[in-house]
A and B are shown apart, each in its own frame.
Chain A
Amino acid sequence: MTDPQDVQAEGTSQTAEDVLAARYRKLLRWYPADHRDHYEEEMIGVLLDDAAPGRRRPTPAEAAVLVVTGLRTRITGTGTALGHPRWREGAAVAGVLLVLGLAVKAVHPVAVMAGFALHLPRAWGAVTPEVSLLAAVWAVAAVLVLTPLRRTAAVAAWVAAAAQAAVLGVSYLEDPVAVLDGTWVIVASFIAALGLTVAGGAPRLIPKTFAIGAVLAVIGTFCTYALTRAVPGESLEPLVRAPFHVYLIYNWRLDNLPADVFLAAAAIAVLLGLRRLAPAVRLRLAAFVAPPVALIVVVHRVYAGFAASSPRFDPPVLLTAGEWAGLVLVPLVTFLLAAAFVHRVERLAELVELGRAARRR
């Protein structure tokens, strides 16, 4: 059977090379668009250089290799991009920053109680054993991420993430809303552990100010309650939801300027640290932090009805399979979208740079 391209070539001034180039171009459609943008013309040049003179068709082996590698690039395209060393650097920084942040969060109730204990004659509340356990495991992970013991730090982060999920998970049947509110913490915990694991030996330029910020935040929390001139009242209200048994006393005076200074200094330290990161790493850090942030937004917006109605029933209404699927999909989809966004931003920057270089020549 005669190929339409051959018939067309006979009626025009197309050479055999033009026909072959057109056929290669057709085969290269198996590759994703961004790959074609970058390599198509160059690959066609090499394919034509490699072809015997007068040949009009790709060999079956060439066609097979182009189809297979094209498909593989399509399937693993994101994987390849995610395998870029910059992603490992981003994962390393995200792992450290998230572990430090989660450690501050876990130590928070302990710091609150320690602050209260300074000026209250007797315990008005107690930190439950599971809260103490979480504070301990996250504190250990936080110390380890600042040392060269990378694998040990990754293991400690996995242990802390598992403990976080377990502590939250056991209360699911009694308080599903607490679990729902805590899903972002679990997602952040696993991203931290995963980040430290995939980072492997990637270069880590972790600004020291991150660690300084974490320490200042804990001191600030402690000072908030230690320096508060509490005036005991008659009413108590929970300061933090169960299972954190910490209570806020009415009539307290918020004249704790030193505590605010510590917290402001902590925020500045973290911001200074972020400024020191390379823009590419900062972009990726944002992509790693985006999933738990998206989950907080979705839980507060989309799951607000569930959170309001579930506790009204006894036993409380539990999440449906669809709602669970949503909680799993939101962080996954957010990360993929963020990764695609990072890829696009950098591709655009590359094209702009190529255009500038061409203009200079």
Chain B
Amino acid sequence: MDGYTSNTYIVVPMTDALSEPAYLVLTALAGPPQHGYAILADVRDLSRNDVTLHTGTLYAILDRLHRGGLVEIEREEVQQSRLRRYYRLTGAGVERLAAETERRQTQAKAAASRLRNLRTAGGTA
């Protein structure tokens, strides 16, 4: 169906589903601004050590999110002669994270419902 009601027509024009690492990076930034190393650690915690990002992967994701207007640099600092950039979500990033979270919740609910039915059917069979 055409029109603006479809999920395709959200304000942020990124129609592809977020990858799990990108989703976790956005989640990590849904709080105070964080620098790269802190994001790596946060992603590990958020995923309960299921996802460990390498620096190269993190910056590929950050670059994509930055270019997509979902994250922005809050400030830059030099600590112990190392450049640290603090990233935060943009308004579009918040909306994207909310939309993705809702999408995942809907899918999880559907999966849970099917599993319940399957178990019920298995129990009665």
Q: Bound complex: CA of A56 vs CA of B38, how far in Å?
A: 23
**B37 and A50 contact, CB distance less than 8 A:** yes
B57 → chain A, closest Cβ, in Å?
Answer: 6
Is B15 within 8 A of A49, CB to CB?
no
Could you tell me which residues of chain A, from 141 to 198, have a CB within 8 Å of some CB in chain B?
A: 148-152
- CB within 8 Å of B: which A34-56 residues: 35, 38-39, 41-50
> How many chain B residues touch A (Cβ–Cβ < 8 Å)?
32
**A73 interface residue per 8 A CB criterion:** yes
Decide if B82 touches A65 in the complex (CB within 8 Å). Answer: no
User: Is B112's CB within 8 Å of the partner chain A?
Assistant: no
| Listed stretches B23-31, B63-71, B101-109, B114-122; interface member | B63-71
Contact (Cβ within 8 A) A201 B56: no
Cβ < 8 Å to B, chain A residues 66-102: 66, 68-70, 72-73, 80-81, 83-85, 88-89
Most B CB within 10 A of own CB, among A38, A45, A50, A61: A45
Please report the C-alpha to C-alpha distance between residue A45 and residue B77 in the assembled complex, in whole angstroms: 11
Partner of B59, one of A43, A88, A200: A43
Majority SS at the chain A contact face: helix
Report which of B12, B15, B63, B85 forms a contact with A35, defined as CB distance below 8 A. B63
Given contacts A46-B36, A50-B40, A151-B2, contact A65 B15 (CB under 8 A): no
Whether A42 and B2, one on each chain, are in contact in the complex, defined by CB atoms closer than 8 angstroms, is no
Does B113 touch A at the CB level, under 8 Å? no
- Name the residue on B nearest A86 (C-beta): B69
- The answer for the CA separation of A49 and B85 in the assembled complex, in Å, is 14
Residues on B with beta carbons closer than 8 Å to the beta carbon of A212: none
Which residues of chain B in 22-78 are interfacial with respect to chain A, using CB atoms and an 8 Å cutoff?
Answer: 35-37, 40, 54-60, 63-64, 67-69
Interface residues of B in 6-20 (CB under 8 A from A): 6, 8-15
Instruction: Tell whether, in the assembled complex, residue B67 and residue A45 are in contact, meaning their CB atoms are under 8 Å apart.
Output: no
**Contact indicator A203/B11 (Cβ below 8 Å):** yes
Whose C-beta in chain A lies nearest to the C-beta of B9?
Answer: A201
Residues of B within 8 A of A202 (CB): 13
Given known A69-B60, A73-B60, contact A42–B10 (CB-CB < 8 A): no
Residues on the B chain within 8 Å of A39, using CB = 59, 63
If A84-B67, A85-B14, A203-B13 touch, whether A44 touches B60 (CB-CB below 8 Å) is no
Q: CA A303 – CA B60 in complex, angstroms?
A: 44
A62 touches B (CB below 8 Å): yes
Query: How far apart are the CA atoms of A68 and B37 in the complex, in Å?
Result: 20
* Closest beta carbon of chain B to A38's beta carbon, Å: 8
Is residue B125 within 8 Å, beta carbon to beta carbon, of the partner chain?
no
Complex Cα gap A254–B13 (Å) = 49
Which 8 A/B pairs are nearest by Cβ-Cβ distance? A45-B82, A69-B56, A201-B9, A46-B36, A65-B54, A41-B83, A202-B13, A49-B37
B interface residues, Cβ below 8 angstroms from A: 2-4, 6, 8-15, 35-37, 40, 54-60, 63-64, 67-69, 82-85
Other A-B contacts than A70-B56, A88-B13, A201-B15, 15 sampled, CB-CB below 8 A, are A42-B59, A42-B83, A43-B36, A46-B36, A47-B55, A49-B37, A62-B55, A65-B54, A80-B64, A84-B68, A85-B12, A85-B13, A85-B14, A85-B69, A201-B8
A to B CB contacts below 8 Å, 19 in the list: A35-B63, A41-B83, A42-B36, A42-B59, A44-B82, A47-B55, A49-B37, A50-B37, A50-B55, A62-B55, A62-B56, A65-B56, A68-B56, A69-B57, A80-B63, A84-B67, A148-B3, A200-B8, A201-B15
